[in-house]
Amino acid sequence: MSINRVTQNMVTQRSLQGLQSSAARLAATQEQLTTGKLVNRPSDSPTSTTTSMRLRSNRADAEQFVRNASDGRGWLGQLDTTLQTSLNETRRARELVLQARSGAVTSVSSREALAVEVDQLRESLISLANTTYLGRPVFGGVTAGGVAFDADGTYVGTTTGEVTRTVAEGVTVRVDMDATAVYGPAGANLFADLEAASIAIRTGDDAGLATALDSLAAGMERLTAGLAEVGGRTNRVESSLDKARDRELSLRNQLSELEEVDIARVSMDLALGEVTYQAALSATARVIQPSLLDYLR
């Protein structure tokens, strides 16, 4: 049977090692409570650090999707309002043409009054077609200019390229509108139809009024179709926005659970660590008693 000899040096070394370990744990707990983070450097937990980096990357993507969808919703909201107003004003113009063709308006002054209102509606519609969002015309495509139509109602935007927003992984939604699809092609657009209607009202041209009625009806159909398309896009953007926000919140919670400390638990750990450290100091002081040799040194 072997007997291990415990020397004073061994007792001293082990006591100091225990004190150092206790002090290190106390310092780590105090750092967590001070910073509010479980992981303050990669060496604290390489696995948690890797997971945290992945979660942060995913959260950054989700936040970008939220910003894209919010911006796209602004574009589409502007389009919806503009198209709805354009439809109402086109409907009013058609009512004026119907009134002129009904035979109830016979005097020159009455026809002139109707024609003047149609002219005003035409100018208003051109202004609506030049509606902008954040300084960019919503019907101008990717043009760098500030308007989609000039004062005569001629399209000056770009016919190539679309303004799009990526609202989810692999999901891109167009947020502008093809002006020729809703206001009509060049040379035969809604503004030209209104100009022809105004002339027909002034001259009392019944055939011209009939043509104007058909043209304005077609214009209303285009605007209605545009509104339906914008509504469908808006639903996609709204759905993507809700999903992106939910994912962002979920990732934020996961990151919080991974990185942030439980203040109540860490406070208790710190108090327990302080008691343990003080007890260790007291026990070490009793075990390692100074000898006469220590004084002689």
Alpha-carbon distance of 55 to 251, in angstroms, equals: 6
Residues 68 and 119 in one domain: yes
Q: Is the pLDDT of residue 110 over 80?
A: yes
Residues 74 and 150 in one domain: yes
Residue listed under structure tokens 């107003």: 85
Total number of domains constituting the chain:
2
* Residue 99 is assigned to a structural domain of this protein: yes
Give the chain's mean pLDDT.
Answer: 85
Which is it for the CA torsion 250, 256, 257, 259, positive or negative? positive
Residues 192 and 82 in one domain: yes
Residue listed under structure tokens 């327990």: 272
Better pLDDT: 90 or 260: 90
E strand or H helix at 136: strand 136-137
Q: Is the pLDDT of residue 261 over 90?
A: no
Which distant-in-sequence residues (6+ apart) come within 8 Å of 268 by Cβ?
none
Alpha-carbon distance of 63 to 241, in angstroms, equals: 10
Give 143's pLDDT tier (boundaries 50, 70, 90).
Answer: confident
Residues 243 and 271 in one domain: no
pLDDT digits (tens, 9 = 90+) for 221-230: 999 999 999 9
Residues 128 and 217 in one domain: yes
Q: Which domain holds residue 251?
A: 54-255
Lowest-confidence region among 36-40, 135-139, 146-150, 232-236: 36-40
* Residue 13 is assigned to a structural domain of this protein: no
pLDDT digits (tens, 9 = 90+) for 8-17: 666 666 766 6
Report the pLDDT value the prediction gives residue 290, as an integer from 0 to 100.
60
For the domain that residue 242 is a member of, what is the CATH number? Answer: 1.20.1330.10
Give the tokens for residue 208. 């011209």
Better pLDDT: 191 or 161: 191
* Residue 3 is assigned to a structural domain of this protein: no
Report the pLDDT value the prediction gives residue 281, as an integer from 0 to 100.
67
Residues 241 and 293 in one domain: no
Alpha-carbon distance of 64 to 68, in angstroms, equals: 6
Residues 120 and 172 in one domain: yes
Better pLDDT: 33 or 188: 188
- Determine the Cα angle at 186 with ends 136 and 197, to 5°: 105
Give the tokens for residue 205. 């041209």
Q: Highest-confidence range of 51-55, 64-68, 160-164, by mean pLDDT?
A: 64-68
Give the tokens for residue 170. 């692999």
Q: Is the pLDDT of residue 237 over 80?
A: yes
Better pLDDT: 273 or 205: 205
Residues 87 and 145 in one domain: yes
* Residue 20 is assigned to a structural domain of this protein: no
* Residue 272 is assigned to a structural domain of this protein: yes
* Residue 35 is assigned to a structural domain of this protein: no
Alpha-carbon distance of 198 to 191, in angstroms, equals: 11
Residue 2's SS3 state is: coil
Residues 163 and 208 in one domain: yes
* Residue 8 is assigned to a structural domain of this protein: no
Whole-prediction pTM value?
0.77
Q: Is the pLDDT of residue 297 over 60?
A: no
Alpha-carbon distance of 222 to 219, in angstroms, equals: 5
* Residue 144 is assigned to a structural domain of this protein: yes
The radius of gyration computed from the CA coordinates of the chain, to the nearest angstrom, equals: 38
One-letter identity of residue 161: G
Check if the beta carbon of residue 216 is closer than 8 Å to that of residue 97: yes
Q: Is the pLDDT of residue 135 over 80?
A: yes
Residues 174 and 292 in one domain: no
- The residues facing 190 across adjacent strands are none
- The residues facing 168 across adjacent strands are 171
Residue among 134, 177, 187 nearest 157 (CA): 177
Lowest-confidence region among 52-56, 140-144, 284-288: 284-288
Give the tokens for residue 274. 């302080």
Q: Which DSSP string corresponds to 182-239? A: HH-STTSSHHHHHHHHHHHHHHT-HHHHHHHHHHHHHHHHHHHHHHHHHHHHHHHHHH
Residues 165 and 288 in one domain: no
Residues 71 and 181 in one domain: yes
The pLDDT > 70 percentage for the chain reads 74
